Amino acid sequence: MKTWLRYLYSIGIPIIVLAPARGQNPEPFHDYHQLKKRVYNFTKVEFITEEGEFNDAICTLVIPDLKEDSPPYVAIYYKRSNSSWFTESLYRKRIRFSFKDGVIKLDRTNFWDWFDLEEIKVVVIY
């Protein structure tokens, strides 16, 4: 029995000591210095047409240096009158969009209550 414990001890200690060292990443994050950020700001005058309809033109964002093999991060912030800014994620789904050849197409469903909004900010990090 003593030799068996000695054997487990000799095998078990290196595993216990080495296991945490292999599982830890000395740098848990990576900075991307070449990332760019664009913020598009739309007021009620810009996202509502003269006819009182939603202006679909704000759903198309042209970014010529956007690469198709590097998906952008897109966030949309909304503001109602006399309220704080809020994001879509607080209320329902993720943002829907597609991108190709330097153009981001935002799905109109991202602006489901546009008639109650005062401002919209679209943030693109690429």
In a domain, 21, yes or no: no
In a domain, 62, yes or no: yes
Check if the beta carbon of residue 56 is closer than 8 Å to that of residue 48.
no
Q: Can you tell me the mean pLDDT for 98-120?
A: 91
In a domain, 93, yes or no: yes
Tell me, what's the pLDDT at 78? 92
- In tens, the pLDDT along 23-50 reads 666 778 888 888 999 999 999 999 999 9
When divided into structural domains, the chain yields a total of 1
In a domain, 6, yes or no: no
Tell me, what's the pLDDT at 29? 81
Write the CB contacts of 106 (distance below 8 Å, at least 6 apart in sequence). 58, 59, 60, 61, 74, 76, 95, 96, 97, 122
Tell me, what's the pLDDT at 15? 42
In a domain, 30, yes or no: no
In a domain, 107, yes or no: yes
In a domain, 10, yes or no: no
Q: Can you tell me the mean pLDDT for 60-73?
A: 91
Half-sphere exposure of 120 (CA within 13 A, CB side): 24
In a domain, 28, yes or no: no
Domain of 62? 37-125
Tell me, what's the pLDDT at 17? 45
